[in-house]
Amino acid sequence: MAVKGQNVELVQELIMADPSLMNMVDNQGNSALHIASRKGRDQIVRKLLDIQGINKTIVNRSRETAFDAAEKMGHSGIASILEEHGVLSAKSMVPSTANTANRELKQTVIDIKHGVHNQLQTARLTRKRVRGIVKKVNKMHVEGLNNAINSTTVVAVLIATVAFAAIFQVPGQFADDPDNLAPGQSAGEANIAPRPEFMIFIIFDSIALFISLAVVVVQTSVVVIERNAKKQLMAVINKLMWLACVLISVAFLALSYVVVGDHQRWMAHLITVIGTVIMVTTIGTMSYWVIVQRIETSKLRSTSRSRLESMSFMEEPEILENDFKKLYAI
């Protein structure tokens, strides 16, 4: 309010007491220099311009500097004083402001461009590394499947050999003397053929033999190249081999009742209990882990898909498949 009057000393004392007052603006954006120029207070204008730190570029809400305010009110003398001290019109300041804004915008665009380029470069490198990891994992999976196929073939041959030999090496041998045949017995018939234990043995042993032979034929005749098809084939073969192992075990337990005789049947019972516990524990444990693995696989598949949807550079089917391939069974 002091700049509206004529008292230069009062203005000077107020500014000396608080230098920030000279650059303060009112609700219309007018500084002390604006008001003094509009009121035509040339002495106060000179005093303000002589003070170090005065802001000569303040623009009010009407887009006017102190020079524009003086010209608008017809104070040409004050306008000349302001011009001598470097106070310009707001119109002459626009190009400089516009150029600065353009430079800042251009620099911002360049920075964004560099940032995007760096992100794309990082994404490409990440994709390259991930693909390398996928290839290594796929190679490990293929090697594991091949080893499993070879092992299954060996086991199938072993079971077929044992099952075939067991049929012709039964306890009590065979009726091979035509002159000493029991009533109803034919030559070459096993002496224990009428017993129920032998019937169980011959049925289960034969089924195990033919299952093993079927697996051997498939393994030696079918060549599977594609990994998923190879895994499906192994799943079927594993189930068949589990069944063959169970059947050959039952055949052995049935024949044990013949071997120990009627007076030592407790031994056969003991063998049956031991064998049953071992087989049930083994197959039950493996079945449990397979079920748990499949549940985890289902959860990880849904999680991986949601993650890959937000990461476009990793939209690889191999990655989705290999996030959770830790266990292969049936």
Domain with CATH 1.25.40.20 in the chain: 2-88
Lowest mean pLDDT across 24-28, 103-107, 183-187, 232-236: 183-187
pLDDT at 257: 83
Kindly tell me if the per-residue pLDDT of 329 is higher than 50.
no
Instruction: Determine if the pTM surpasses 0.75.
Output: no
- pLDDT tens-digit readout, 42-63: 888 787 778 877 787 788 888 8
> Which fold, 2-88?
1.25.40
pLDDT at 315: 45
pLDDT at 211: 92
Higher-confidence position of 178 and 85: 85
Rounded CA-CA distance 11/3 in Å is 6
